[in-house]
């Protein structure tokens, strides 16, 4: 046990002292803070460039349709000829011409410009024309905009969960966000740090350092120490990222006066804030922690076996594909599973050990699981981890001392059968 602890200590201290670790630990929070700050800054600042749009309306029905904004100013030229206007605007990169044909807008309109037309301007024109055309048609039927406004009703929908403890405010949006955040964290953790295990094994193998280490420790102890040591490095980095990101966002909001939410809090669906405080977070946090660690152990042992079977990262590709496909498939299926978290697909994906680290937290976030399903998923995952570590250790003990030979699946099977 002391040997494993020494290996863990070596792996941990070696990696946290690297410049790459320190740089990424500092840069990571800046990048994550940018996700909060930049969208809000862009939304408040808008564009400094004013675009002038000359409108040639051959119908004469859309005189007051377009409203000027900070980015667009509309110039009404109903009697101008398209060819002349285009010639005058030939060298003007900030202008465009909108032609509304005399046949009306049902068959479409055309925007002419020397510069790329952004989707914002195109959408603004389309919305304005659609709304005005609808108003014109309704007025022909004797229905005024006032009638339409009086008839519109906004119905806020609030969901309430009926439980043994009583009624609780529910929020599908909150559960989806929480589930996806959990899935993304676990997915990133497994891929980022599982691959570090593989690269670490390859580096030691190619530098022949492992020959010295293996003379004093067992291969299984070396593999276990490497996996656990890198896991602690990952947890340290995630913890520092969380703390530093919180400090940066808090500082920008409270001391620099920069909005970091973009007004999102005012636009939350009904009941979401209440659900945030009344939701039972313990099962979700427990599941995230368990599947966070279990998923890493499962895939890190496989990555360690792959690293020991290859002499360089190029040779690992043939083994990486079958290992990573289940993980990628689970993440790709997460969106549809959230729509039906109690369905058969969600059930089997949460039971299969190679996809359960991603899918089971999603189901727990949606509270769409039974206790026996969680227990079964955890039991199968633990059993699979045990078997995977055993198989990986068999490959690892032979592979780390093999050089210059291209390994096939048939060769790996021989290694597993060695006693």
3-state SS string over 203-235?
HHHHCCHHHHHCCCCCHHHHHHHHHHHHHHHHH
User: How many other CB atoms sit within 10 Å of the CB of residue 382?
Assistant: 15
How much is the mean pLDDT over the chain?
Answer: 77
pLDDT at 117 > cutoff 80: no
In 247-305, the DSSP E strands lie at none
Distance CA(302)–CA(389), nearest Å, equals: 8
CA angle, 332 then 338 then 343, to 5° = 100
Cα distances (angstroms) measured from residue 404 to each of 311, 401, 410:
7, 10, 17
Q: What six digits make up the tokens of 170?
A: 């529910």
Any idea which of 162-166, 181-185, 327-331 has the lowest mean pLDDT? 162-166
Distance CA(396)–CA(238), nearest Å, equals: 28
Which of 16, 32, 26, 22 is CA-nearest to residue 246?
32
For the segment 16-22, the average pLDDT, to the nearest whole number, is: 86
The CATH number of the domain covering residues in 51-151: 3.40.190.10
pLDDT tens-place string over residues 67-106:
887 778 888 877 777 777 777 666 665 578 888 888 878 7
pLDDT tens-place string over residues 238-254:
888 878 877 877 776 66
pLDDT at 264 > cutoff 50: no
The answer to whether 230 and 237 have CB atoms below 8 angstroms apart is no
For the segment 354-362, the average pLDDT, to the nearest whole number, is: 88
Q: What is the pLDDT of residue 377?
A: 92
Which range scores top for mean pLDDT: 48-52, 200-204, 303-307? 303-307
pLDDT at 262 > cutoff 50: no
Q: Please, what's the b/e burial string for 137-172 (b: 16 or more CB within 10 A of its CB; e: otherwise)?
A: eeeeeeeeeeeeeeeeeeeeeeeeeeeeeeebbbbb
Q: Which residue has the higher pLDDT, 403 or 370?
A: 370
pLDDT at 190 > cutoff 70: yes
Reported as a pLDDT band with limits 50, 70 and 90, residue 1 is: low
Q: Would strands 72-76 and 159-163 be described as parallel, antiparallel, or unpaired?
A: unpaired
pLDDT at 227 > cutoff 90: no
Domain with CATH 3.40.190.10 in the chain: 51-151
* pLDDT > 90 in the chain, percent: 4
pTM exceeds 0.85 for this model: no
């Amino acid at each position: 046990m002391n040997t494993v602890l020494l290996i863990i200590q070596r792996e941990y201290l070696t990696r946290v002292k690297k410049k790459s670790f320190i740089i990424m630990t500092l840069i990571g929070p800046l990048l994550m803070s940018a996700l909060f700050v930049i969208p809000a800054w862009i939304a408040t600042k808008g564009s400094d460039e004013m675009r002038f749009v000359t409108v040639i309306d051959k119908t004469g029905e859309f005189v007051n349709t377009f409203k000027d904004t900070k980015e667009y100013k509309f110039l009404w030229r109903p009697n101008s000829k398209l060819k002349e206007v285009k010639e005058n605007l030939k060298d003007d990169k900030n202008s465009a011409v909108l032609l509304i044909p005399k046949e009306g807008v049902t068959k479409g309109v055309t925007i002419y410009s020397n510069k790329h037309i952004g989707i914002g301007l195109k959408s603004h024109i389309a919305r304005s024309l659609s709304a005005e055309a609808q108003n014109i048609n309704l007025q022909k039927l004797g229905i005024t905009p006032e009638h339409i406004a009086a008839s519109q009703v906004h119905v806020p929908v609030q969901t309430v969960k009926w439980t043994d403890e009583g009624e609780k405010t529910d929020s599908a949006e909150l559960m989806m966000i929480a589930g996806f955040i959990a899935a993304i964290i676990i997915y990133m953790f497994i891929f980022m740090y599982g691959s570090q295990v593989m690269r670490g094994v390859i580096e030691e193998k190619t530098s022949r350092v492992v020959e010295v280490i293996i003379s004093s420790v067992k291969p299984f102890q070396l593999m276990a120490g490497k996996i656990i040591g890198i896991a602690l490095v990952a947890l340290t980095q995630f913890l520092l990222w969380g703390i530093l990101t919180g400090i940066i966002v808090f500082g920008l909001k409270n001391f620099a006066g920069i909005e970091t939410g973009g007004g999102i809090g005012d636009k939350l669906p009904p009941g979401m804030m209440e659900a945030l405080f009344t939701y039972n977070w313990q099962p979700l946090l427990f599941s995230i922690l368990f599947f966070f660690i279990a998923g890493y152990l499962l895939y890190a042992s496989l990555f360690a076996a792959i690293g020991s079977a290859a002499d360089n990262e190029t040779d690992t590709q043939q083994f990486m594909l079958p290992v990573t496909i289940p993980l990628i498939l689970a993440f790709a299926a997460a969106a549809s599973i959230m729509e039906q978290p109690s369905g058969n697909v969600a059930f089997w994906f949460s039971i299969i050990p190679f996809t359960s680290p991603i899918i089971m937290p999603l189901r727990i976030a949606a509270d769409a699981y039974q206790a026996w399903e969680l227990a079964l998923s955890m039991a199968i995952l633990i059993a699979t981890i045990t078997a995977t570590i055993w198989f990986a250790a068999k490959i690892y003990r032979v592979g780390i001392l093999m050089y210059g030979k291209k390994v096939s699946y048939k060769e790996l099977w021989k290694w597993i059968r060695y006693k």
